[in-house]
Amino acid sequence: MNKIEGIILDWAGTAVDFGCFAPVNVFVDIFNHAGIEVTMEEARGPMGMLKIDHIRAMLSMPRVSALWEDKYGRSFNEEDVKHLYAEFEPALMASLSEYTDPIDGVIETVQELRAQGLKIGSTTGYTSSMMEVVVSNARQKGYSPDHVVTPDDTDSYGRPYPYMIYRNMEQLKLSASWKVIKIGDTTSDIKEGVQAGVWSVGVAVGSSEMGLTEAEYQELSESEKEAIISRTKQTFMQHGADFTMNTIRELPQLIESINGLLAEGKRPGSVK
């Protein structure tokens, strides 16, 4: 049957942790400790990558790179990356369990898809030790995918490399890339899906790309919500998304639409 067999969900900002705040605050803090003031936008820019790669990407940003040279009289090097990461990991681990609440609609949607026989995989920018905290806490709160892959399982080749998706496909016995949907909340999630040859879908509300807490989002007027959702979706499409959703609750309907496209012989990347 030419139908979707499995979905692969990102974690923070997609399945748990509305707005993806656990890592953002820590990135800002560790740069502050180093005497470099970074913005929330800069801290969010590389979100979804393996976290040491994320730090490297932030240091490579022209403004941040210039601030580093002003402060230290030289360009950043790999030792600086490692030093910042050595601060990042314990700081994140200390707060991570507080950021594991499933995002509204995730538990019910996953139950509905499982009832239809779909497999639920997952990828992340967190390491395995970080995910031990996230997975166990999320399970207690009602969310547990069928499989979890971290960059530690792919020799530290995280997003945008496609390998974590392939490991999920192997473990869950998914038969072809075009029968898989990858869902995420960052541009690196979108690129991961595109490079794996699966259907790549961005979810707007609760995303790191949107960057709002749940309370901040709910305080917006309807027209403000529409505007920020539209802007977020546009960013996903510009980075290669096949589709975008407001929330995960739209996924069952989207799967039906994609199954219709598959019946017509369509493949990921062909429906823009």
- Residue type for 155, please? D
CA 202 – CA 223 distance, rounded (Å): 21
Please tell me whether residues 151 and 229 are part of one structural domain. yes
User: Which two tokens mark 67?
Assistant: 């601030």
- Residue type for 257, please? S
Please tell me whether residues 85 and 10 are part of one structural domain. no
Backbone torsions φ then ψ of 183, nearest 5 degrees = -120, 130
Model pLDDT, residue 272: 67
User: Which two tokens mark 3?
Assistant: 């139908």
Cβ-Cβ contacts under 8 Å for 13 (sequence gap 6 or more): 19, 20, 47, 184, 185, 186, 206, 207, 208, 209
Query: Last residue of a domain, which of 98, 126, 153?
Result: 98
Q: Is residue 35 part of a domain?
A: yes
Q: Is residue 177 part of a domain?
A: yes
Q: Which DSSP category does 246 fall into?
A: S
Q: Is residue 255 part of a domain?
A: yes
Most distant CA pair in the chain, distance: 61
SS3 at position 201: strand
Q: Is residue 34 part of a domain?
A: yes
pLDDT along the chain (272 residues), means of 10: 95 97 95 97 95 97 98 97 97 95 98 98 97 98 98 97 98 98 98 98 98 97 98 98 98 98 96 75
Please tell me whether residues 235 and 108 are part of one structural domain. yes
Q: Is residue 41 part of a domain?
A: yes
SS3 at position 162: coil
Please tell me whether residues 131 and 60 are part of one structural domain. no
CA 44 – CA 219 distance, rounded (Å): 22
DSSP 113-154: HHHTT-EEEE--SS-HHHHHHHHHHHHHTT---S----GGGG
Cβ-Cβ contacts under 8 Å for 54 (sequence gap 6 or more): 23, 27, 46, 47, 125
Please tell me whether residues 110 and 193 are part of one structural domain. yes
Residue with tokens 């919500």: 225
233 catalytic, yes or no?
A: no
Model pLDDT, residue 258: 98
Q: Is residue 48 part of a domain?
A: yes
Number of domains in the chain: 2
Q: Is residue 270 part of a domain?
A: no
CA 11 – CA 20 distance, rounded (Å): 9
Check 51, 119, 179, 182 and give the catalytic one.
51
Please tell me whether residues 121 and 200 are part of one structural domain. yes
CA 235 – CA 20 distance, rounded (Å): 17
What CATH code is carried by the domain that includes residue 32? 1.10.150.240
Model pLDDT, residue 271: 83
Q: Is residue 271 part of a domain?
A: no
Model pLDDT, residue 1: 79
Binding residues for Mg(2+): 10, 12, 185
CA 245 – CA 254 distance, rounded (Å): 9
Query: Last residue of a domain, which of 98, 133, 167?
Result: 98
Please tell me whether residues 145 and 253 are part of one structural domain. yes
Please tell me whether residues 203 and 243 are part of one structural domain. yes
What CATH code is carried by the domain that includes residue 107? 3.40.50.1000
Model pLDDT, residue 64: 98
Binding residues: 10, 12, 185
Please tell me whether residues 126 and 204 are part of one structural domain. yes
Cβ-Cβ contacts under 8 Å for 26 (sequence gap 6 or more): 88, 91, 92, 95
Please tell me whether residues 131 and 209 are part of one structural domain. yes
The parent domain of residue 52 ranges over 21-98
10 catalytic, yes or no?
A: yes
Please tell me whether residues 200 and 212 are part of one structural domain. yes
Query: Last residue of a domain, which of 45, 64, 98?
Result: 98
Terminal Cα-to-Cα distance of the chain (whole angstroms): 24
Please tell me whether residues 108 and 82 are part of one structural domain. no
